[in-house]
Structure 1
């Protein structure tokens, strides 16, 4: 396959994936989506399956349920029907049926504590976590600052799976940074999925770089998207490999419900001062931003 053709397919499918994530609360019409990108619906489904190895309909269903599983935990004052509507379900009955099929329990059981056993199985499945000395209680003294963040334009590489292969995506980002002679930039990891309640191999991880000077680049091969503006809780932390996954579990399962904040469907992201994927010791120093409302 020619490089230009491959890059074109990757750009379109990444744009489609980004559209799905940012519009998951709406009725996503496949005909309109294909028309928006100037391609046939058949071709859209074909290249999406080629790039992501799964079809669009299953992807939309999976993302809706992932978002719903988060909102059921953090948005304590929202009814199950309201959570269903926020994630694009027009029928509470169909939502409950799909949720039970995915998580082997009803939304009501999940909200009452069923999520804990489900989450711990996923987190403990990670070898990094089993080797980590950090527990969820280690973060109880963390106090965030509440900030209003601007919209940011980022170049990115999408990676499926929360695993060691993420390092390869960051190495490609670093190569791209050097080839464009960027001097002032931010490295950001964006988490479309919550890795503490989503199977690690199914998580969509996005490695991003923001050019602070917003200059014209010689190598524009990487696709570009927008990191959403809004109100965020900003946590500053340092740690070793595995610790961040425990921290994310704590944020969603402990900090948000305890402090009566609700989250939104905007993805959280981490801004690195020290990127664990580009250092020999595997340690990180970062600010973690999670979208909130009160």
Structure 2
């Protein structure tokens, strides 16, 4: 496949995945999307499965359920019916049926603590030598109105060491173009504490904080939404970030009086453990919040 065609294929599949995450609370019409992208629905399905290893319908179903599972934990005052609607289900009955098939328990049982055992099996996948003894229980967030960001990105399926290659490619782009003023952002489409690590979509992003011709950027782009976020300043080693996320979602947020939204959490690096020699990170982690 020619380079231009390869870039076009990547743009279609990445734009489609981004659209799914952005509109997971609504009916997603694939006929309309294929027309918007200028390709047949058959070709769109084929490109998507080739890129992500799963068909579009399976992906939509999985994202809906993973997001619902997260909201059941964090949004204590939202009814099951409301969470079903927030994640694109037309009825509570169809949501409960799909949830039970995925997680082998009802949404109510999950919310009442069933998620803990499920999460623990994921946390146990982390090698002990990739974490430290750091804890985050004493962190106190700052509530901030964050701006929107236009980011250029590389998407990676799985939370694993191969993420480093994404950051190295972004680094090669900035160095090769003598770009000095930029920010590194990691976007978490999924909660890696309740989504199996090999299914998580991790997005390595850069924000260009200096003028640069967008036509010369060989990377797809999208906008991270602005809004009200809780900001946590944290340090750690390698997979300690998963400890931070677990504490924020499982402990801080349910007890905080806030709820989260269908927007995505993200972090901004001061020191990126995937690019330095020590494996230590320094960052600010942002989670969207609302008052119920």
TM-score by length of 2: 0.97
Q: Distance in 2 between matches of 1:108 and 1:81?
A: 11
1-structure distance, mates of 2:214, 2:44: 29
The CA RMSD measured in Å over matched residues stands at 1.2
For residues 76-100 of structure 1, the C-alpha deviation after alignment (integer angstroms, 9 at most, x for no partner) is: 1111011000000001111111111
Alpha-carbon deviation of 1:215?
2.2
> How far has the Cα of 1:3 moved from its partner?
1.3
**In the alignment, is residue 221 of structure 1 matched against residue 223 of structure 2?**
no
The CA distance in 2 between the partners of 1:283 and 1:163, in whole Å, is 16
Quick one: which of 174, 179, 186 aligns to 2:176?
179
Match in the other structure for 2:119: 119
Residues matched between the structures, number: 291
The aligned counterpart of 2:234 is: 237
Runs of 4 or more off by more than 2 Å in structure 1? 129-135
Q: Distance in 1 between matches of 2:183 and 2:75?
A: 31
Q: Which residue of 1 aligns with 2:252?
A: 255
Contact 2:181 2:209 in 1 (8 A): yes
Distance 1:133 1:158 in 2: 27
Determine if the alignment matches structure 1 residue 269 to structure 2 residue 262: no
Distance 1:132 1:44 in 2: 40
Q: Quote the residue 1:48 is aligned against.
A: 48
* 1:39 Cα deviation from its structure 2 partner: 1.3
Change in 2 beyond 3 A, CA 1:280/1:101 = same
Deviates more, 1:213-222 or 1:96-105: 213-222
Q: Does 1:83 align with 2:83?
A: yes
* CA–CA separation in structure 2 for the residues paired with 1:35 and 1:217: 25
- The answer to whether the 8 Å contact 1:179/1:219 transfers is no
Aligned to 1:34: 34
C-alpha distance in structure 2 between counterparts of 1:115 and 1:255, whole Å: 16
Report what 2:280 is aligned to: 283
2:289 aligned counterpart, secondary structure: strand
SS in 2 for 1:196: coil
- Tell me the distance in 2 between the aligned counterparts of 1:181 and 1:56: 38
Aligned to 1:140, what secondary structure does the other structure show?
Answer: coil
8 Å CA contact 2:272–2:280 kept in 1: the answer is: yes
- For 1:122 and 1:218, how far apart are their aligned partners in 2? 41
Asked if 1 retains the 8 angstrom alpha-carbon contact of 2:130 and 2:238, the reply is no
**What secondary structure is seen at the aligned counterpart in 1 of 2:72?**
helix
TM-score relative to the length of structure 1 = 0.96
Structure 2, gaps ≥5 residues long: none
Offset at 1:132? 2.6
Equivalent residue for 2:66? 66
Partner of 1:148: 145
Deviations 1:152-203 (A, max 9, x none): 1000000000000000111001001112221110000000000000000000
